[in-house]
Structure 1
Amino acid sequence: MDFEDIIQLVNQAVISRKGRPLKTVERIVLQGAWENATYTQISENTVGYTEDYLKKDVGPNLWKLLTEVVDRAAIKVTKRNLQNVLQDWAAQSTQLPASLPDPAVNPTLPGSTAQGEAIADPLAWWELPPIDVADFLGRQPDLAMLHQLIATDHCRLVMLWGLPGCGKTFLAAAIAQQLRQQFDRCCYVALPQEFAPSALMEALAAALGLPGSATVDQLIQRLADRRCLVILDGGEHLFAAGQLAGTYRPHFVPIQDLLRPIAKHQHRSCVLWVGQEQPQDLIPLVGGRVRSHLLNGFSAQEAREFLRGRGLFTGSETHWQQLVNHLSGNPRRLTEIASVILNLYRGDLGQFLADIPALEGTTADLAAPLARLTAPELDLLAWLALAQQPISLADLQQGMIGSLPMEVVQSLLARGMAQISEGSGARIVLELPPFTRSAVLHHLLQLLMVEVDRESFQLLQRIPLLSTTAPERVQTLQQKSLLAPLADHLQQQYPEPEALQEKLQRLHRGVRSQYLNQPGYGAGNLIHLCQRLDIALTGVDFSQLAVWHANLRRGGIQGANFSQARFEHTLFAMALGRDPVMVFSREAELIAIGDRDGRLLLWEVATGKLSRVLIESGPVPIRALAFSPDCAWLAVGSENGDLCLWALQGAYGPEEFTRQQQPVVELAFSPDGAWLAAGGADGTVQIWDM
């Protein structure tokens, strides 16, 4: 058998055992391992997944899943033995017909022909979802709602949707088991990632007792003649990645011609559509006998009931609520984390919650949905995650680069990733549940690492790693979530100081080459990375760059050039320290300010923005300043009698001119700039030929 035969067998086995098809990322790793590709090669040929994520997260979980599916004594599936074990297992498997077509496969689109048409392999169907619901716990309000919609309100189409792991398939199985006696026929189809629309029609026809060549009209007539319950699971596979939620992939567009008549035409049956997103074309039809139900997480009480049979857990009501909040009440995540709490924390919720980093390994469920987002959706999620608290659309629009179309907001809401904050009144205020926020930040970090490695700022230009306007608590969380790990990544990649400095210089050149005179956060992010890594920015050229949300108070920027830089929400060093001195240029275009702390800054008068940091903090107090008439030089007199000149055009100093016996307290150029007069604290005046 070739890979396509094997993966179909594996997919059907996973559906039978786990009640779900293989995930996109699982298929990618499985095919790569089958072809003896390394994790590095797999990540390089895949958009949105890093080598670290595939190697440490997806791979181990996939081998564990395949070990369960193969179910051979003493045989553990690994990346090395994958082909031998699966070939042997498949040869003895009878789950699918022995003879399968051998299509010409496009390696970038598993399950499609070279021309991009879906493979017309048959779809398996069951009378009921192949899931044991004897231990079904919780979800009583959701179960009652579905019962009302299907059995009492006689809805023609019900869309059950929500994030991965929230229990959609389990709930569909429970309601099907509960209502099976009220229907003449029941049918469950788990849609794989790739199939032909005609295969779905054939499966439904077979399940409903129609010939394989039945048309949509004949199918609708059968739904009218007999009361049928049809469950279509895995609906998210119909939709395109990189498009707004619920946008059909091109070869699945014909399925619209099946679903829309089911929703609009009169009949006695119900189609329960199950997926992570709602079909975009069906949302306007919601109301009356077409309904939509978002499946959220467990409440604290439901979570306690759900985990009761898995062991003894101790904790207060507050602890249970915190646990549910951190995991968004997701049943799959609760199941995964239950063994951690029992084995490592002896069931003590309080001790576990004090060690929240233990939750970081549970964010893999959202990796695939996050990889499907459009760039505007990802930007919006990034801002919501960085805010660490509810934030209004108006505030989001102020910070984001470009406009924020409402369809982007609606798409995120339609994916169940963001939610409207309760009690926000007339304003639209969005927020992320804690678990979703953690998953988004983890996903962002992987993408940012790739950008830094490739030395091409994209996301790093669109979002700030650190928001200078955020509360201190939020800034601390931002540093911990993105800035510190990204800096650590650079440190690990370039442990030698010289190599690290050269890397940061290349990043700086990349920002300058891409984003001169353009709005964005790239320069500010680079400044924060350098500060985190203790890399001085002495003499670095930030002219004509947007320097947004940068904290310039932290040091290391002496001599940096900020001429014509665009500042926004930037924190500057406080120039007006003790005994400040200042001077305007002849045309009042620039103002130089020095103080007793030895700090010397140059500002643009018209904009009020910092132009250059000449001396960030010096050992000697500054007592006098003077611009040359042509603004080419700035003379600086100090407490110790030093008289220095700074070249303000081209390369700049300082150049020590001379040292006097007394502090220099007054400076003046002649009108033609040929002479410089310096007055000492003892009343002496010296004239210098320039």
Structure 2
Amino acid sequence: MTGKEAIALVDTVLRSANSGQGLNDIQSVVFLETWAGRSYTEIAKQLGYQHDYVKQVGSQLWRSLSQLFGEPVSKRNIQAVLRRYQQSQQSQQDWGEAIDVSRFYDRKEERRSLESWILEDRCRWIGIFGLGGIGKTALSVKIAQEVHSQFEFVIWRSLQQAPPLNVLIREILPILTEETETRDSSINSFMTQLRVKRCLLVLDNVESILQGGNRSGQYQCGYEDYCCLFERIADEPHQSCLVITGREKPGGFTVREGKNSRVRSLTLKGLSGADGEQILIDKGVDAASSQLRKIVNYFGGNPLALKIAATTIQTLFGGNIQAFLAQGTTVFSDLWDLLEQQFERLSPLQQQIMYWLAINREGVTPAKLQEVILPKVSGRELFEALESLHTRSLVETGNGNLTLQPVIMEYVTQRFIKLIEQEITCEMAAVQLPDFFQKSGSFFALKNLSFSTCDSLHF
């Protein structure tokens, strides 16, 4: 047990016994320094306090812990006492449909942040958000495994099949109450257990209970009670933690999150070059680092996309990465399906913005978007749509410009080409598309197309 783990355990025990009152600052320092083997004299010198004061702080702390653990505690035996206590308080874990993360790619920075939010800041509601395939599920399982010893219960569930809340609670409550079954599925009963038990609850794929459309985060009809539960978990005092993952933030999250709040969010980006390359190597792709890096950059470090690309290189190109790179950028079937799911959740206005960003390719400011591209759309409508696209991790901002990741840009480009092939376009397209296709490298013969007005695109 590390000093960080030990102090988190002691703080949890004290809070449970003292109505939320844990270690204060001086107690925390004395505990950690004692754990590291330093004497009261060394601690006093380091902190600039009198020796007798530091000794008094330590003595009072050991007396409090002796009462809580039911055996004498001193600076000499604290490590042994905590080890025995931890062994007697092993958490009950129910991992549901959690995936295997025995092979995990780095994410040290993200894991460090999440661990700090969960154990040190004792956040009540944490969201891990990002594009499909970016690794949210794997990270949620990994962090739950790493902090499980600090909780009485660890429960991981997927919302992919959109279970009604009463069904989910009826499944989880017996685990927390240690009963064989329960007919009670009320939020009140669930909140009672989160107050009296230290529970880590992870709910994956939260977008499954949300609506598509112009405003992200709205709950589907019949799933509004999830909003009630989430908000109560965020607002009411308890000793548990809810972690959700999703492609967008659910309603009520943004207004509550903040740097000093008990509600925090982590937007998950693609893997760094080296870790992305390792995925390709582990999948059997044998190539120079510069070639591997091209693929990682194109797919934005998206782990799922890289695995799909690696399989394609092996099966269709016989492992020849040079041949794969020579055929140009493309979006494969499984990745296409993933992006299609997200694109179909967008409103017509959001889809229109995505098409325009793909056409422009160089990036565009919101003001330019309003002035030239969408003059008939009100500022409120435009910024609501842009905010929704950003929370869904579909647009990126840099130097004030809105852009798309290369793989998303290619998907939207291919989708737009399909619309043109079906002769679904507009008068604007006849002017803009030749330059657009020239930039994107398409060999599509525009002169053979007939253009018609498409009201659904509102160009």
Normalising by structure 1, what TM-score?
0.48
What CA distance in whole angstroms lies between the structure 1 residues aligned with 2:427 and 2:106? 42
Q: Kindly state the Cα deviation for residue 129 of structure 1 after the two structures are TM-superposed.
A: 4.6
Instruction: Look up the equivalent residue of 1:145 and give its one-letter code.
Output: S
Q: 1:351 to 1:478 in 2, by over 3 A?
A: closer
Once the two structures are superposed, what CA deviation does each residue of 1:386-409 show, in whole Å capped at 9, x if it has no partner?
111121112212232322521111
Q: 1:215 to 1:449 in 2, by over 3 A?
A: same
For structure 2, the residue ranges without an aligned partner over 5 or more in a row are 1-92
Q: Kindly state the Cα deviation for residue 139 of structure 1 after the two structures are TM-superposed.
A: 2.0
Q: Kindly state the Cα deviation for residue 369 of structure 1 after the two structures are TM-superposed.
A: 0.6
Q: 2:188 is matched with which residue? A: 217
Instruction: Look up the equivalent residue of 2:296 and give its one-letter code.
Output: V
What CA distance in whole angstroms lies between the structure 2 residues aligned with 1:294 and 1:412? 13
What SS class does the counterpart of residue 272 from structure 1 fall into? strand
Q: 1:165 to 1:440 in 2, by over 3 A?
A: same
Equivalent position to 1:321, from 271, 275, 293: 293
Task: State whether structure 2 residue 440 is matched by structure 1 residue 467.
Answer: no
What CA distance in whole angstroms lies between the structure 1 residues aligned with 2:129 and 2:214? 18
Task: State whether structure 2 residue 200 is matched by structure 1 residue 229.
Answer: yes
Task: State whether structure 2 residue 345 is matched by structure 1 residue 372.
Answer: yes
Equivalent position to 1:202, from 166, 170, 174: 170
Equivalent position to 1:406, from 359, 367, 383: 383
What CA distance in whole angstroms lies between the structure 1 residues aligned with 2:206 and 2:412? 23
Q: 1:187 is matched with which residue? A: 155
More helix by share: 2
Q: 2:266 is matched with which residue? A: 293
Task: State whether structure 2 residue 363 is matched by structure 1 residue 386.
Answer: no
What CA distance in whole angstroms lies between the structure 2 residues aligned with 1:462 and 1:168? 41
Q: 1:178 to 1:394 in 2, by over 3 A?
A: same
Once the two structures are superposed, what CA deviation does each residue of 1:72-102 show, in whole Å capped at 9, x if it has no partner?
xxxxxxxxxxxxxxxxxxxxxxxxxxxxxxx
What SS class does the counterpart of residue 232 from structure 1 fall into? strand
Instruction: Look up the equivalent residue of 1:411 and give its one-letter code.
Output: S
Q: 1:437 is matched with which residue? A: 409
What CA distance in whole angstroms lies between the structure 1 residues aligned with 2:318 and 2:393? 33
- Given that residues 325 and 433 in structure 1 are in contact (C-alpha distance below 8 angstroms), is that contact kept between their aligned partners in structure 2? no
What CA distance in whole angstroms lies between the structure 2 residues aligned with 1:349 and 1:479? 20
Once the two structures are superposed, what CA deviation does each residue of 1:458-485 show, in whole Å capped at 9, x if it has no partner?
xx348636528x9x6x55035728xx27
Q: 1:67 is matched with which residue? A: none
Task: State whether structure 2 residue 120 is matched by structure 1 residue 148.
Answer: no
Q: 1:417 is matched with which residue? A: 394
What SS class does the counterpart of residue 442 from structure 2 fall into? helix
Q: Kindly state the Cα deviation for residue 345 of structure 1 after the two structures are TM-superposed.
A: 4.9
Q: 1:282 to 1:306 in 2, by over 3 A?
A: same
Q: 2:106 is matched with which residue? A: 138
What SS class does the counterpart of residue 296 from structure 1 fall into? coil
Instruction: Look up the equivalent residue of 1:296 and give its one-letter code.
Output: K
Q: Kindly state the Cα deviation for residue 279 of structure 1 after the two structures are TM-superposed.
A: 0.6
Q: Kindly state the Cα deviation for residue 347 of structure 1 after the two structures are TM-superposed.
A: 4.8
What CA distance in whole angstroms lies between the structure 2 residues aligned with 1:257 and 1:138? 35
Instruction: Look up the equivalent residue of 1:185 and give its one-letter code.
Output: F
What CA distance in whole angstroms lies between the structure 2 residues aligned with 1:446 and 1:249? 30
Pick the structure with greater CA Rg.
1
Once the two structures are superposed, what CA deviation does each residue of 1:313-362 show, in whole Å capped at 9, x if it has no partner?
22234x33321221111111111111233455565545432322454544
What CA distance in whole angstroms lies between the structure 2 residues aligned with 1:208 and 1:242? 37
More strand by share: 1
Q: 1:520 to 1:156 in 2, by over 3 A?
A: closer
Q: 1:398 to 1:201 in 2, by over 3 A?
A: same
1:113-132 equivalent positions in 2, closer than 5 A: 126-127=94-95, 129-132=97-100
Count residues in correspondence. Answer: 357
- Given that residues 313 and 342 in structure 1 are in contact (C-alpha distance below 8 angstroms), is that contact kept between their aligned partners in structure 2? no
CA RMSD of aligned residues (A): 2.9
Q: 1:30 is matched with which residue? A: none
Instruction: Look up the equivalent residue of 1:216 and give its one-letter code.
Output: I
Q: 1:465 to 1:234 in 2, by over 3 A?
A: farther
Q: Kindly state the Cα deviation for residue 364 of structure 1 after the two structures are TM-superposed.
A: 2.4
What SS class does the counterpart of residue 255 from structure 2 fall into? helix
Instruction: Look up the equivalent residue of 1:476 and give its one-letter code.
Output: Q
Equivalent position to 2:209, from 199, 224, 238: 238
Identity among equivalent positions (%) equals: 25
Q: Kindly state the Cα deviation for residue 242 of structure 1 after the two structures are TM-superposed.
A: 2.5
Taking CA–CA contacts closer than 8 Å with sequence separation of 6 or more, which of the two structures ends up with the larger relative contact order?
2
Q: 1:332 to 1:182 in 2, by over 3 A?
A: same
- Given that residues 188 and 231 in structure 1 are in contact (C-alpha distance below 8 angstroms), is that contact kept between their aligned partners in structure 2? yes
Q: Kindly state the Cα deviation for residue 416 of structure 1 after the two structures are TM-superposed.
A: 0.2
What SS class does the counterpart of residue 223 from structure 2 fall into? helix
1:38-117 equivalent positions in 2, closer than 5 A: none
1:255-266 equivalent positions in 2, closer than 5 A: 255-266=226-237
What CA distance in whole angstroms lies between the structure 2 residues aligned with 1:200 and 1:486? 53
Q: 1:520 to 1:338 in 2, by over 3 A?
A: closer
Q: Kindly state the Cα deviation for residue 214 of structure 1 after the two structures are TM-superposed.
A: 4.3
Q: 1:262 to 1:225 in 2, by over 3 A?
A: same
Once the two structures are superposed, what CA deviation does each residue of 1:115-170 show, in whole Å capped at 9, x if it has no partner?
xxxxxxxxxx9435532221122222222222222122211111111111111111
Q: 1:520 to 1:145 in 2, by over 3 A?
A: closer
Q: 1:446 to 1:254 in 2, by over 3 A?
A: farther
Q: 1:176 to 1:520 in 2, by over 3 A?
A: closer
Q: 1:153 to 1:462 in 2, by over 3 A?
A: farther
